[in-house]
Structure 1
Amino acid sequence: MSDLKIVSMKKRYLSENIRDLCFGENKMAFVSGPRQCGKTTLAKSLLKDRKNHGTYFNWDESNFRRAWVKDPNSIVPEGKASTVPLLILDEIHKDRRWKRTLKGVYDTLIAPCDILVTGSARLTVYKKGSDSLQGRYYHFRLHPLSLRELHDASAVLPADFMENLFSRSKKTRNGADKDLKDLMKYGPFPEPLLAQDARKARLWRQNRREIIVREELRDISRIPELSRIELMVSLLPERVGSLFSINSVREDMEVSHETIKRWLTYLQDLYYLYEVKPYHKSIPRALKKEGKIFFWDFGEVEDKAARFENLIANHLLKACHQWTDTGWGKYELFFLRNKEKQEIDFLVLKDGKPWLPVEVKLSDTKPSAHWRKFLPLLPCNKGIQVVMKRHWEKHEIAGKDLLVTGAAEFLDYLP
């Protein structure tokens, strides 16, 4: 059996955090993430750990919707002497009153019951008013598969990542290069990646795109221009990695600036794409407004260099989300660019301060000239340049360490 087939049976990287931080502390767990990234698989694996002592409900089930509206407490599974049941509620955010109803269920539990809520749209739970769920849950963002998770789903702490990478604490794993090649070819989502079939991957991608635009977008937006949004979506992959201009898309689509902005917000809410914004504090003549867009499924991107940059972006964003969601600090992803068009592709912030800049090159192992512009301006003392092929070389720029490393090795240290 291949390593990829084996990983499909493994626990996802959030399993232990959900058990320890939520179920061990009498809190609900909210898990959101892109459609078909593995949320249901994660939920059912947690249920299986309890020998299926609990219940899984999906909003698309008519019997569940009826019970949810008429008597929501009736869905709570009964406990056993030695095992707390698990109640899984999938896609209940489609109910406009889901927060209020869930609060009522949680606050009136007669016996202990762990609750897991999953959804493929952002669970916008931060809302003022009497139905606030504040203090009753922790929210986790589940990502598709990353290179390291293909063989190891254990936690990686931020300090350990940095120290282990720069000290090269382990040899490059034998299968890492193949994993990178597979990710580049099939994308990060479990179904096409595990199938290892380019034709099936194209069909899967086409189907996923149609469902997101024609069904999920319709559910959250109630807008009539779905065919127009579908056309806009087809124009976006070629813009990955470059400065994203709403005006440029507006001109192509012949609609207003606000309309394009609203459509993009919907696509971000559905975890179809995300924006990385420029960082400008203490950076002379820094770009402040225009960001860059990336896809949660970088398999959507045809250009090899842009797809590679998107792959690196996804891995960095996954690390930022995991470390933030599990309490290790507030980690955010930005990029650096000034008005002279000098740029460093990514900058990870920790608690609002620059922590790690990362430049992405398809093949150029020579340090980018832009490092000499930006690295002296940053408080962090390390930088990384990632290339596709195997490489490992340290440089010193302005008294700071710059590591030029191959992607397979670099990504094997990240979560």
Structure 2
Amino acid sequence: MINQQVIVPRPQATEWLLHWKDRDVIKVVTGLRRCGKSTALRLAQRALVESGVNERSIVSIDLERLGFAAPTTPQELYDYAVARISSPSCYVFIDEPQRVKGFERAVDALYAREDCDVYVTGSNSDLLSSELATLLTGRYVEFRLLPLSFAEYRGARAALADDADDTELLNRYLSLGGMPYASLLPAEDVSEYLDGVLNTVLVKDVATRHPRISMPVLRALLAFLADNVGNRFSLKTVADTLTANGSKVSPTTVSEYLNALVECYLIFKAEPYDAKGRRLLQQGGKYYLGDLGFRHLLLGRDGSDLGHRVENVVYLELLRRYHTVRVGRVGDLEIDFVAEREGKPHYYQVALSVLDEATLRRELRPLELLGDAYPKTLLTLDRIGATDHNGIEQRSLVDWLLK
């Protein structure tokens, strides 16, 4: 039985929310359903109290838990919040406000008050990242919450007194993913739980916005992506593969379906980038899963394609640490990731092992060709070997993930 009181710390989200505390913007936490947004708000509230904020100054509204007593109109939502304001400076947290049609009017009205600092979460079809600019133009900052990082995952397993070492934990993480509740479940129960999450996303997020989309075809497309994490492919290739498997679609339809999966955070697209010419390319992007547990669910196997699963984990970790993450090219050679923050790139290569000299030279070559002074890192599963190759840092993947 799972201890329902286990709350996995989300330090990055908590620190971000506290960083924007008392600033004149609406704080919005977005992300995949069940990735921990509600918990992030609760942790931020706890941190506020620990910093000296009076508990009476915190107004927490969880529309899901209110059930039939929840406000149903923007006016009711606004009135419900205002009735609970009891000090000249209050922190108003609204979890999933999009359950109220026109919720943005209530959020705007609260934001306009002198006594409110407003925080909201969103994951469904009315508050996806793509909608924020329309609903809250110029008045918000967004934090995109991902499932647990490996460091957070290790903390969750430690709370269950799991005595597995880091290598064992990483193997589980690479197979079952990092959805917070799934991290607390026995391995044999994870797929059943994730199936419920996936069906909810497809029905409530995708079908609501795109009622003409075929759910069986969309699920078949997601399975294809799970089986081709980190591979390059054309829209025609995907369409031909799905059609051959009984799901007749055109390349145009595939493009529409891919966009639908991206906007609800089930997948992410890493755009192609000419690392030497510092420009975006038209072709050659890659797709990665928002959580590797969906690969386990859709394909039912864990032992294959370790290299691309590791690549997926690195991509998600880079999204946590950098503003932009792309896949790079140097001529005909590939750099796995070009991560950028404040206009400064950091180049990453990912390999299972470079103990073989030929493999090491192949992985280092595109980084050496760049000829610039920006940081370059080679990540591997090796726990031994050189740590520096003429300015290119070699790091153990486990150590880097736990940084």
Which amino acid is the alignment partner of residue 110 of structure 2? V
Map 1:278-317 → 2, pairs under 5 A = 278-280=272-274, 282-283=276-277, 288-301=282-295, 302=302, 303-317=305-319
Give the match for residue 235 of structure 2.
246
Give the match for residue 245 of structure 2.
none
Which amino acid is the alignment partner of residue 326 of structure 2? F
Which amino acid is the alignment partner of residue 409 of structure 1? D
Q: Does 1:350 align with 2:344?
A: no
Map 1:144-183 → 2, pairs under 5 A = 144-150=147-153, 176-183=166-173
Rounded Cα–Cα distance in structure 2 between residues aligned with 1:24 and 1:63: 30
Which amino acid is the alignment partner of residue 229 of structure 2? V
Cα contact 1:285–1:339 (8 A) shared by 2: no
Give the match for residue 383 of structure 2.
390
Give the match for residue 222 of structure 1.
211
1:149: how far off? 3.5
RMSD: 3.3
1:368: how far off? 4.1
Q: Does 1:140 align with 2:143?
A: yes
Q: Does 1:194 align with 2:184?
A: yes
Give the match for residue 9 of structure 2.
10
Cα contact 2:367–2:376 (8 A) shared by 1: no
1:267: how far off? 1.0
Give deviations 1:312-368, integer Å, cap 9, x for gaps: 111111111xxxxxxxxxx3111223564x222111123344x22111112234424
Rounded Cα–Cα distance in structure 1 between residues aligned with 2:263 and 2:229: 18
Give the match for residue 28 of structure 2.
30
Q: How many residue pairs end up in the alignment? A: 367
Counterpart of 1:372 (choices 356, 365, 381) is 365
Q: Which runs of 5+ in 2 are unaligned?
A: 157-163, 243-247, 296-301
Which amino acid is the alignment partner of residue 332 of structure 1? T
Which amino acid is the alignment partner of residue 220 of structure 1? R
Q: Is the alpha carbon distance of 1:386 and 1:215 closer, same or farther for their aligned partners in structure 2, counting shifts above 3 Å? A: same
Give the match for residue 93 of structure 2.
88
Rounded Cα–Cα distance in structure 1 between residues aligned with 2:382 and 2:225: 27
1:30: how far off? 0.4
Q: Is the alpha carbon distance of 1:284 and 1:126 closer, same or farther for their aligned partners in structure 2, counting shifts above 3 Å? A: closer
Q: Is the alpha carbon distance of 1:41 and 1:239 closer, same or farther for their aligned partners in structure 2, counting shifts above 3 Å? A: same
1:62: how far off? 4.7
Q: Is the alpha carbon distance of 1:244 and 1:380 closer, same or farther for their aligned partners in structure 2, counting shifts above 3 Å? A: farther
Rounded Cα–Cα distance in structure 2 between residues aligned with 1:84 and 1:45: 19
Give the match for residue 41 of structure 1.
39
Cα contact 1:212–1:270 (8 A) shared by 2: yes
Rounded Cα–Cα distance in structure 1 between residues aligned with 2:391 and 2:196: 45
Give the match for residue 126 of structure 1.
133
1:119: how far off? 1.1
TM-score, normalising length: structure 1: 0.77
Cα contact 2:61–2:81 (8 A) shared by 1: no
Which amino acid is the alignment partner of residue 304 of structure 1? L
Q: Does 1:256 align with 2:256?
A: no
Q: Which runs of 5+ in 1 are unaligned?
A: 154-173, 321-330
Rounded Cα–Cα distance in structure 2 between residues aligned with 1:59 and 1:220: 21
Give the match for residue 64 of structure 1.
70
Rounded Cα–Cα distance in structure 2 between residues aligned with 1:181 and 1:64: 42
Rounded Cα–Cα distance in structure 2 between residues aligned with 1:101 and 1:145: 31
Instruction: Pick which of 56-65 and 343-352 moved more.
Output: 56-65
Q: Does 1:184 align with 2:174?
A: yes
Rounded Cα–Cα distance in structure 1 between residues aligned with 2:392 and 2:371: 13
Give the match for residue 299 of structure 2.
none
Q: Is the alpha carbon distance of 1:95 and 1:250 closer, same or farther for their aligned partners in structure 2, counting shifts above 3 Å? A: farther
Q: Is the alpha carbon distance of 1:240 and 1:151 closer, same or farther for their aligned partners in structure 2, counting shifts above 3 Å? A: closer
Counterpart of 2:198 (choices 209, 213, 223) is 209
Cα contact 2:275–2:370 (8 A) shared by 1: no
Rounded Cα–Cα distance in structure 2 between residues aligned with 1:28 and 1:132: 8
1:5: how far off? 10
1:409: how far off? 0.9
Q: Does 1:337 align with 2:329?
A: yes
Give the match for residue 232 of structure 1.
221
Which amino acid is the alignment partner of residue 37 of structure 1? C
1:374: how far off? 4.0
**Per the alignment, in what secondary structure is the counterpart of residue 132 of structure 2?**
coil
Which amino acid is the alignment partner of residue 279 of structure 1? Y
Percent of aligned pairs sharing the same letter:
20
